[in-house]
């Protein structure tokens, strides 16, 4: 079982979008049973809430929607998940500060395909969520090319 965790700030935009995209790709490849996929946030402001309506709309448009409930990262997540992908440097720094014993385990998602950060679309419109979807989709395709069983 390959365990993958996505992390952003509030767990209502970027990380649930990444989770939905990976779940969709795994479902299409018949690999869903071989992976455990989850997402969380470094902050707990949105704990218990669904994904942002704009994120839900974009995920639904691509057939990648799923029932999501926001949660905050816990220490055991860093022990349990094999692949921990963070959306930006700020949240990566928060993880490393809060859980110094796991420094180096999490990495930026976009390192998979050239580097950079996934911009936070929260204060922008639907088009920003669509742009984030495309960024995540490309990076997760690279992840699966390198980590999916053949």
User: For residue 143, what pLDDT band results from cuts at 50, 70 and 90?
Assistant: very high
- On the 0-12 / 13-18 / 19+ scale of CB atoms within 10 A, 12 is buried
| Domain annotation covers residue 79 | yes
The residue from 13, 14, 52, 54 that is catalytic is 14
| Domain annotation covers residue 9 | yes
Position 147 scores a pLDDT of 86
Q: Which domain covers residue 16, as residue numbers? A: 2-145
* Model confidence pLDDT, tens digit, residues 28-43: 999 999 999 999 999 9
- Residue 94 maps to which CATH number? 3.40.50.2300
Tell me whether residue 14 is one of the annotated catalytic residues: yes
| Domain annotation covers residue 85 | yes
Cα-flanking dihedrals φ and ψ of residue 10, to 5°?
A: -110, -5
Q: How many domains does the chain have?
A: 1
| Domain annotation covers residue 150 | no
Q: Where are the alpha helices (DSSP H) in 11-125?
A: 14-29, 53-61, 75-80, 89-98
* Model confidence pLDDT, tens digit, residues 79-88: 999 999 999 9
Residue 43 makes CB contacts below 8 A (sequence gap 6+) with: 9, 10, 72
User: For residue 112, what pLDDT band results from cuts at 50, 70 and 90?
Assistant: very high
CB 30 within 8 Å of CB 137 = no
The residue from 38, 77, 88, 120 that is catalytic is 120
| Domain annotation covers residue 15 | yes
| Domain annotation covers residue 60 | yes
Specify which residues 107 forms β-bridges with. 85
Report the percentage of the chain scoring pLDDT > 90: 97
| Domain annotation covers residue 22 | yes
């Amino acid at each position: 079982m390959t365990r993958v965790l996505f992390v952003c700030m509030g767990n209502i935009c970027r990380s649930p979008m990444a989770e939905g995209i990976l779940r969709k790709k795994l479902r299409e490849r018949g690999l869903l049973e071989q992976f455990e996929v989850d997402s969380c946030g470094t902050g707990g402001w949105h704990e218990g809430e669904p994904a942002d309506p704009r994120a839900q709309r974009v995920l639904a448009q691509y057939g990648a929607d799923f029932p999501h409930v926001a949660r905050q990262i816990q220490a055991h997540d860093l022990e349990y998940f094999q692949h921990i992908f963070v959306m930006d440097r700020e949240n990566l720094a928060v993880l490393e500060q809060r859980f110094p014993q796991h420094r180096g385990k999490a990495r930026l998602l976009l390192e998979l395909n050239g580097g950079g950060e996934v911009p936070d679309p929260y204060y922008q419109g639907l088009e920003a969520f669509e742009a984030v979807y495309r960024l995540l989709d490309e990076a997760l395709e690279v992840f699966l090319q390198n980590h999916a069983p053949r």
